[in-house]
Chain A
Amino acid sequence: MMLIARRNFVCKFTILGLLAGLAFFSAVQSAKAEYADVVINNYADAAGMRPAVFPHWFHRIRFRCKVCHADLGFKFKAGGNKITMAKIINGQFCGACHNGEIAWSVENCSMCHSGVPGLPTHFHGSTVQRLIAPTYKPLETKQ
């Protein structure tokens, strides 16, 4: 009896520790997302939508960087383009392609808005984030 009680205690303790560990790890490193995935969440959360997730690897198989970053005017800065749905349905940013002609159209909300709620805007796997002591913040790049 004693033994069982004790084991239960240990078991609970372990699960608690495990959960705490999991919460810690998923919050801090959003661990295993593909390199160069961008979470964009300037406004989405506030409007009750999941954050948007943009996969670079998927798009670079189909388009060179130049298409988005020169022709379509995406600045090299996560969250820096202030993308909104108004701009998208006017054919800017994601809307230059996600218009039912070049790629599936904008009513597929949850294809883009697929992020874990509450995640901040960030660039996954960047060298800066992976440094042991990121004591300095990335500076604004001049555009």
Chain B
Amino acid sequence: MIIIKQTRFLSLALLLAVPFMATQVQASADSLSGVTAVNVASSVSAANTFNRNLKKDKVRNAAPPEDGIHDPANDSTHVLQPPLEAFEGFPPSDFGNYVDWVKTLDDGIIQPRWDRKDPTEEPFVMDLDIVRPVKASVPDVVFPHRQHTMWLACSNCHPAIFIPQQQANQINMSAILLGQKCGVCHGKVSFPITTKSCKKCHSKPKPADWEPPLSEATLKNPWR
């Protein structure tokens, strides 16, 4: 009986908090359930919650007043455009802005300027794919110049980030995750590095008979 009433109070507290922090409530649901566990059933250990480390986007494309970085007390914040209004009709994706920017541009849904003032100036698009074989079991990487030169100038990458010569650059995943090489843009503005995006870069399947090389330790393993 008491328990039921308390739970009701908990939900009441939740409801009261909603208008203040509308979208934050979801994010704090974990911490709330922690509190509930302590109050209602003290036998369940709060230290062993399900998915301790899982981070998920609870809200996609939040409007500026609710996004946590814009100040809702600033009048102009409410004049800023909500992303979802702008993204109406854009081909979707599963990460980043949840927009497939390459397709949006290819389909002519947007026409971003190549020159600050002249809307008729066209980019110099270069269609050259660079294949980077990968030692690991993941598909090989194909770097497509076409999609990049539709957005960027050669000087954005050459020579500061990449020497313009095939295989002249050391690239690996840890550098990318650190924000170097491809990671200068991917993970910042262009699509991020996440389980769902691996295959955008790792797009050339390995031959059917490909096997991952065995490590020294396995080859020399006396207990094998």
Chain A residues proximal to chain B, CB less than 8 Å: 3, 6-7, 10-11, 13-15, 17-18, 20-22, 24-26, 29-37, 39, 50, 53, 55-58, 60-67, 69-72, 76, 96-97, 102, 108, 110-111, 113-117, 119, 123-128, 130-132, 136, 138-139, 141-143
- Pairs across A and B, CB under 8 Å, 6 listed: A17-B32, A65-B189, A114-B77, A125-B192, A141-B160, A142-B160
The total of chain B residues at the interface (CB under 8 A) is: 79
A49 to chain B, nearest CB (A): 11
B13, B39, B81: the one contacting A18 at CB < 8 Å is B13
Closest 6 CB pairs of A and B: A127-B187, A21-B31, A70-B153, A110-B76, A21-B28, A17-B35
B52-84: CB near A (< 8 Å → 1, else 0) gives 010101110110101111110011110111010
Q: Is the interface of A mostly helix, strand, loop or mixed?
A: mixed
Given the interface pairs A102-B116, A141-B184, the reply to whether A36 lies near B96 with Cβ below 8 Å is yes
A37, A62, A65, A110: the one contacting B156 at CB < 8 Å is A65
Task: List 12 extra interface pairs beyond A127-B194, A143-B160, CB under 8 A.
Answer: A7-B6, A14-B35, A17-B32, A21-B35, A22-B28, A29-B68, A62-B112, A64-B114, A66-B151, A70-B153, A127-B177, A127-B187
Residues of B within 8 A of A116 (CB): 68-71
Residues of A within 8 A of B160 (CB): 141-143
A25 to B68 CA separation, bound complex (whole angstroms): 10
B67, B155, B179: the one contacting A32 at CB < 8 Å is B67
A10 to B6 CA separation, bound complex (whole angstroms): 7
Residues of B within 8 A of A17 (CB): 31-32, 34-35
Residues of B within 8 A of A57 (CB): 83, 86, 97, 99
What total count of A-B pairs have CB within 8 Å?
A: 222
- Pair A31/B180 contact, Cβ less than 8 Å: no
Residues of A within 8 A of B194 (CB): 127
Residues of A within 8 A of B14 (CB): 18
